[in-house]
Structure 1
């Protein structure tokens, strides 16, 4: 038994049992992957995969049990490397943050700026993706920290912390009939075409629920992944925009007006997520504390223990 065999087991599941993709991911051949699997099965004396001819369709019961152990072994192997780097090069390395465009563009710039001043020799990699992609990056160990509003809670392998709360607001082109009106109602907003976030991004679910509770079906003519695109098409007159409150910047959005919508939309909470059992470098804890001073290293470490099973509020 060797680490390459263990990596192949994990990667085979990740690649939906496509051995060609597994070979490409691990820089080996499909035949090499197959041989490693057969050798491991021979050593263990059990079949790990359900087969149809030469095709792999899924995991057997022993295969499912083994995968859990493999994930733990490979995670701890990475933790050992992280531990060595922490004590040999405390202020050097890479920190990978997986987040959405909205967070990278509007919530994190100040944090990133402070972090880079403190750790100039740490390469900070920002991976932007959907909330579900952020979850996958965390679970696969390809991201150290995940930041998003959706999808992070309720996953057993992850622990999450509240980062900050925000609400949706409405923007219109300068000169729009709604400009200057006070305490707008949902009915008044729904009289116009709406441009907002795509399903699954930046609190779109709460926007839909707000209208649904009021018995209103809005005319959402376009959806986008980030506020910059939404604001661009609002400027062009495609409709009025519903965006995250932090995404409106009066000094930059000079062609748009922010409307007074009071408390029409409920608060949303953006969360920081980490994988339980994952060894974080010291500078990763510093980054988290820059995001939220309440999240000191001791509190985060306690939550990262594998037996921890609750999100922290």
Structure 2
């Protein structure tokens, strides 16, 4: 048996048992993938997959145990490579970060700049996507770490640690009646067209839940994944906006007013995700500490070793 066979089996499962798609992803031929899987089954003496003709139908019970072992083996192979990189070039390499647009645009610039000051030979690779895509990139080792608010805690293959809390902010044109109202309610907000995030991004689930609890159904005029887009359409008069706190921090925008919504919508927690059992280079630990002073190397190592999964902010 060999690593090629293990990778073929793993990729076949990732591609929903479609060997043609698995072969494309691995830059090889479909017959070659099929043959390698059959040879591994023959060597092990068990069927990893049930078949209908030449098509794979499902993973067998012993096949699931084989897949679990393959995942461990390939993870450790990746760790061996990273150990070599760590000690052959301790201050250089690439840090791959999977994150959402809001984190990449508003939160990460300062930590990335500070990391580059400490490790000038480290290259940064940013991968942006929806929270579930962020999780998948970390699991597939496309990224060393992931940062998002939603979804990350739902994956058992990930260790997730909270970085910081943030709240939503109401954004509206200066002079709008709600801008000067002393005490806002959800009923006040629901009476106006709303411009806010797509349902899978930036705490939108918390927004929907808060309105649902009050039995309110606000009229969503526009959904977007980009806070700057939301602010643009608020300026155009499409409605009032709800954006993440970090999107309105810094220099005030003279044509927009903001109101905090933490008391109405609750607090959100941005989380750091790492693949369970992965070997991390020193600059990954340092970058985590730049995201939150609570995320020191000792705490992360404890979490990665199964001694801790979470802590309170």
TM class by shorter chain equals over 0.9
Query: Which residue does the alignment assign to 2:88?
Result: 88
* CA RMSD across the alignment: 1.5
Kindly report which structure 2 residues correspond to 1:201-212, keeping only aligned pairs within 5 A, or say none: 201-212=201-212
For residues 27 and 212 of structure 2, the distance between their equivalents in structure 1, rounded to whole angstroms, comes to 50
Question: Partners in 2 of 1:53 and 1:256 — Cα distance?
Answer: 64
Match of 1:113 in 2: 113
- Say which SS state the counterpart of residue 208 (structure 2) adopts: helix
Q: Distance in 1 between matches of 2:206 and 2:13?
A: 34
Which has the larger displacement, 245-254 or 148-157?
Answer: 245-254
| Separation in structure 1 between the aligned mates of residue 198 and residue 76 of structure 2, nearest angstrom | 37
1:175 is displaced (CA, Å) by 3.1
Match of 1:153, SS?
A: helix
* Secondary structure class of the residue paired with 2:229: helix
Please tell me whether the aligned partners of residues 100 and 129 of structure 1 are also in contact (alpha carbons under 8 angstroms). Answer: yes
Cα distance in structure 2, aligned partners of 1:258 and 1:250: 12
2:241 — aligned with what? 241
Cα deviation code 1:204-262 (max 9, x no counterpart): 11111111122211111221112112112111111110111111146364432213657
Partner of 1:2: 2
Q: Quickly say closer, same or farther: Cα 1:262–1:158, change in 2 above 3 A.
A: closer
Q: Secondary structure at the match of 2:142?
A: coil
Can you list the C-alpha shifts for 1:49-78, whole angstroms capped at 9, x where unaligned? 121111112211111111100000000000
- In structure 1, what is the Cα distance between the partners aligned to 2:44 and 2:168? 55
Three-state SS of the structure 2 residue aligned to 1:124 is strand
TM-score (norm 1): 0.95
Structure number having the greater helix percentage: 2
Secondary structure in structure 2 of the residue aligned to 1:150: coil
Partner of 1:77: 77
Q: Which runs of 5+ in 2 are unaligned?
A: none
Aligned length: 312
**Secondary structure class of the residue paired with 1:179:** helix
Aligned partner of 2:191 in structure 1 is 191
CA distance in 1, matches of 2:74, 2:170: 47
**Partner residue in 2 for 1:59:** 59
Query: What do the CA deviations read for 1:260-309 (whole angstroms, capped 9, x no partner)?
Result: 6572220111111111110000100000011111211111111111x447
Residue 311 of structure 1 corresponds to 310
Tell me, yes or no, if the aligned pair for 2:167 and 2:260 is still in contact at 8 Å. Answer: no
What is the distance in 1 between the residues matched to 2:146 and 2:260?
32
8 Å Cα contact 1:82-1:280 kept in structure 2: yes
**Secondary structure at the counterpart of residue 242 of structure 2:** strand
Aligned pair in 2 of structure 1 residues 149, 164: CA closer, same or farther (>3 Å)?
Answer: same
Q: What is the match of residue 24 of structure 2?
A: 24
Q: What's the CA shift for 1:191? A: 1.0
Give 1:179 shift.
2.6
After TM superposition, the structure 1 stretch with the greater mean CA deviation from structure 2, 69-78 or 112-121, is: 112-121
Q: Which residue of 2 aligns with 1:160?
A: 160
TM-superposed deviation, 1:34:
0.9
Question: Unaligned stretches of 5+ in structure 1?
Answer: none
What is the alpha-carbon distance in structure 2 between the residues aligned to residue 28 and residue 75 of structure 1? Answer: 22
Does residue 143 (structure 1) correspond to residue 146 (structure 2)? The answer is no
Partners of 2:163 and 2:295 within 8 A in 1: no
Q: Is residue 2:233 matched to residue 1:217?
A: no
Once the two structures are superposed, what CA deviation does each residue of 1:107-150 show, in whole Å capped at 9, x if it has no partner? 11111110111111111111111110111111112211111111
> SS at 1:270's partner residue?
strand
Cα pair 2:167 2:261 within 8 Å, conserved: no
Structure-1 separation of matches of 2:86 and 2:172? 50
Separation (CA, whole Å) in 2 of partners of 1:301 and 1:37: 36
